[in-house]
Structure 1
Amino acid sequence: MSNAYGMSETSPISFQVRPTDSFEKQITTVGRVHPHIEAKIVDEQGNTLDIGETGEIYIKGYSVMQEYWNEPARTRKAITPKGWVRSGDLGVIDQDGYLEIVGRIKDMIIRGGENISPIEIESHLLTHPDIVDVQVFGVDSKSLGEDVMAYVILKDPNMILTRTDIEKFCHSHISYHKIPRYIKLVRTFPLTETGKIKKNELKAEANKILHEVHPDL
């Protein structure tokens, strides 16, 4: 087993760690780009970013698809005129060429004008001894645009974990504005047929609950 990164549009693996990589690289990155594949990190304007800067991951090479069948508009949106596939994922490449995944662009929380990565918060919360799984996402806020919410699955479903408990656990590890304002304990997450968590359903449910309980938020 090894960490790797790719997508169906790139057939599918583009980055992968190797057995000879250091333990730290194997657990914190998805490795280096495969031979004969190109990758770069790009900002919102399409400019290539420097090493260590976070942006969207672009992939190019022999394994990249030519098009979505009979979907020219979707193809133009996904592939640049020069053949780069826009992944929709945020990442950063270090000086040794290792890629770290930061999150999905569409999942980024914009709270009071600041971008917050759900993955950063999820990764820390998963180190909590009582948490088995967690999903973090943005919910509507009239004053901030979005605020941070976490759906949490506990190892013991009969246990109670409060927002204060979460705040204490995150203190000194995560900036205060990134600490989830809202916490909901659940037993399962809704899944797609391929086993992916339906984050949009969680977000829709959370917004509905918050609007009913706190209509002025």
Structure 2
Amino acid sequence: MSSVFPSPADLPASIPALVLRAAQLHGDAIALEDGAQRIAYAELPERMLEVSRALIAAGIGHGDRVAIWAPNSIEWVLLALGLQAAGAVMVPLNTRMKGSEAADILDRSGTRLLFVQGQFLGNDYPAMLAPVRPAGLEQVVVIGESAAAEQALSAFLAGGQAVSAQQALERAQSVGSDDLSDLLFTSGTTGKPKGVMYAHGQSLRAFNEYVRIIGLVPGDRYLIVNPFFHSFGYKAGWLTCLLGGATILPQAMFDADDVFRRVEQDKVTILPGPPTLYLSMLDHPRRGATDLSSLRVAVTGASTIPPVLIKRMREELGFTIVTTAYGLTECGGLATICDPQDSAQTIAGTSGKPIPGTELGILDAEGNALSQGEQGEICLRGFHVMQGYFNNDQATAEALDAQGWLHTGDVGSLDVEGNLRITGRLKDMFIVGGFNCYPAEIEAALSEHPSIAQVAVLGVPDERMGEVGCACVVLRQGEQVSDADLISWSRERMANYKVPRRIAFYRELPTNASNKVDKLLLARQLAG
């Protein structure tokens, strides 16, 4: 299978240039679809420049920050493309943020204009922001209805009539590959979120490889459940579709019933997501009665995936291509990926090999390279490493060393074939009796238990040992097992210090807005 753009040299310089080229390549093919709303690739430049014209009229220039605080939708993509075509830098905001959290990022990023959803899941976002709005935020443009609406999107776009389409086109054509395309803020699990500076050319090169590896082809229909504010929904989502000529099908939030409906109704061919998405589909009572035959490609990513899940995704959900990948915001969201032809054990147990142009190293605390099989910090070097953290030189220096290595804070090793095995986070590590315990390693062992559907391990305080492991377990449908049985089973299969001393059963594990297991919330629940 070949990519639409087979080599880095053939890639457009920027995301706006990609849109202009995709319109020529794919013409009447549908680029964006949600229910009755459809936008063809040929229409996309005009819709993109409509937003750009309004932003230029509002005084937005090259390098200015423009934020989007909204759930996945067609409007989200159009606004993102329009602001990037105006030369602005996109700042996506997590839809689960409260007003003060959003205000902090808007303030520290120096955002001048915000596009914000009026109402979503019972929240009035403009009203939440109003009491804490940063002084530097000049305009708030509301998508939909809000009691605190300052300016409606339709009125804002109408203001663009003062700027010609030719002027907007020239602005779009002036955006270069080294210009910043976005500031994605890290999750903030180790302090305040940090804004990752990333350029147009970096994303296009990395995700052109992604298109090639997963075998995306023009005409594919890509249901994007992963949130657009995250690289999985943005870069491995709608940007990937534009690179490959697929149809973008936005999904505002994950709902298993709705996903089933859309797969059948919209003939979805590509459905990426975290393991929780596929687990919920496999256990769904309507699975046997729903036509899932259109599904072809699944992409997931987590440090612990039971091989049986990969097997079930292929046999019971019908995916012919299942693969796993690894990345983080600081490298654009993609660093390694499994060859879809690899075995279920390799795809489940590793995150594959580096994409072309990426160097992967496993380093010790002194920065020395470790041998195959030895555990150390996962470090990355290459074209796709961030340009730094926005207005945070100290944090940049801590993450990027003098040799150009990005220190990820993740722990892992390389197998004999050069595939990356993730063991855990440096900061997630807990110590039992003087031994270092990495949660992902213990989770991988526990996931082999036939009754376990999903598991998360974390260290919890213990009066005698200081810390011990606690396994938070979701059982497969219809299975029953006691905590004593699981602990006994673990003792037979792992070193004593790794054996969880505590088991907590859950119907489902809490997740954050990126659909990753929320271990911070689990820790609070266990402490309570």
Same fold (TM over 0.5): yes
How much has 1:40 moved relative to structure 2? 0.6
Matching residue of 1:182: 502
TM-score of the aligned structures, taking structure 1 as reference length: 0.85
User: In structure 1, what residue type is equivalent to 2:413?
Assistant: V
Matching residue of 1:44: 365
Q: What CA deviation, in whole Å up to 9, does each residue of 1:105-125 have, x standing for no partner?
A: 111121111011222222232
Structure with larger RCO (C-alpha < 8 A, sep 6+): 1
Does residue 116 in structure 1 map to residue 440 in structure 2? no
User: In structure 2, what residue type is equivalent to 1:85?
Assistant: L
CA gap 1:95/1:160 in 2 versus in 1, 3 angstroms? closer
CA distance, structure 2, for counterparts of residue 44 and residue 142 of structure 1: 30
CA gap 1:17/1:199 in 2 versus in 1, 3 angstroms? same
Matching residue of 2:193: none
Cα pair 1:163 1:181 within 8 Å, conserved:
no
Does residue 33 in structure 1 map to residue 354 in structure 2? yes
Does residue 103 in structure 1 map to residue 424 in structure 2? yes
How much has 1:126 moved relative to structure 2? 2.3
SS in 2 for 1:39: strand
CA distance, structure 1, for counterparts of residue 387 and residue 393 of structure 2: 11
Count of residues in Structure 1 that have an aligned counterpart in Structure 2: 207
Does residue 162 in structure 1 map to residue 512 in structure 2? no
CA distance, structure 2, for counterparts of residue 99 and residue 67 of structure 1: 24
Q: What CA deviation, in whole Å up to 9, does each residue of 1:160-214 have, x standing for no partner?
A: 6433111232232112232211112222322211112210121122133xxxxxx
Q: What CA deviation, in whole Å up to 9, does each residue of 1:35-67 have, x standing for no partner?
A: 221111111222221222110000011111111
Hey, which of these two has a bigger chunk of strand by percent? 1
SS in 2 for 1:3: strand
User: In structure 2, what residue type is equivalent to 1:138?
Assistant: G
Matching residue of 2:461: 140
Cα pair 1:126 1:134 within 8 Å, conserved:
yes
Tell me whether 121-130 or 62-71 shows the greater mean CA deviation. 121-130
User: In structure 1, what residue type is equivalent to 2:385?
Assistant: V
Matching residue of 2:403: 82
Matching residue of 1:201: 521
How much has 1:22 moved relative to structure 2? 4.8
TM-score of the aligned structures, taking structure 2 as reference length: 0.37
Cα pair 1:103 1:117 within 8 Å, conserved:
yes
CA distance, structure 1, for counterparts of residue 526 and residue 515 of structure 2: 21
CA gap 1:123/1:21 in 2 versus in 1, 3 angstroms? closer
User: In structure 2, what residue type is equivalent to 1:167?
Assistant: I
SS in 2 for 1:48: coil
User: In structure 2, what residue type is equivalent to 1:106?
Assistant: K
Q: Which ranges of structure 1 fall in alignment gaps of 5 or more residues?
A: 209-217
CA distance, structure 1, for counterparts of residue 437 and residue 414 of structure 2: 19
SS in 2 for 1:13: coil
CA gap 1:21/1:187 in 2 versus in 1, 3 angstroms? closer
Matching residue of 1:213: none
CA distance, structure 2, for counterparts of residue 124 and residue 142 of structure 1: 26
Q: What CA deviation, in whole Å up to 9, does each residue of 1:41-95 have, x standing for no partner?
A: 1112222212221100000111111111112222122111222111111111134
Cα pair 2:336 2:351 within 8 Å, conserved:
yes
How much has 1:130 moved relative to structure 2? 2.7
Cα pair 2:332 2:385 within 8 Å, conserved:
yes
User: In structure 1, what residue type is equivalent to 2:508?
Assistant: T
CA distance, structure 1, for counterparts of residue 326 and residue 442 of structure 2: 21
Matching residue of 2:184: none
CA gap 1:150/1:27 in 2 versus in 1, 3 angstroms? closer
Matching residue of 1:67: 388
Does residue 192 in structure 1 map to residue 512 in structure 2? yes
CA gap 1:111/1:32 in 2 versus in 1, 3 angstroms? same
CA distance, structure 1, for counterparts of residue 496 and residue 371 of structure 2: 29
SS in 2 for 1:146: strand
Hey, which of these two has a bigger chunk of helix by percent? 2
Larger Rg belongs to: 2
Cα-Cα RMSD: 2.1
SS in 1 for 2:417: coil
Cα pair 2:435 2:497 within 8 Å, conserved:
no
